[in-house]
Amino acid sequence: MTARVAVGDTVEDFTLPDETGVERSLGELLEDGPVVLFFYPAALTPGCTAEACHFRDLAAEFAAAGARPVGISSDGVERQMEFTERHGLGFPLLSDPEGVVRDRFGVTRGFSLAPTKRVTFVIGRDRTVAEVVRSEIRMSAHADRALEAARRLRGRAA
Residues marked as catalytic: 48
Question: Strands 119-123 and 35-39, how do they pair?
Answer: antiparallel
Beta bridge partner(s), residue 129 = 123
What span, in angstroms and rounded, lies between the C-alpha atoms of 107 and 130?
Answer: 17
The CA distance from 11 to 72, in Å, is 15
What is the dihedral sign for C-alpha 153, 136, 60, 49?
positive
- State the Cα–Cα distance between residues 71 and 92, nearest whole angstrom: 6
CA distance 4 to 58: 27
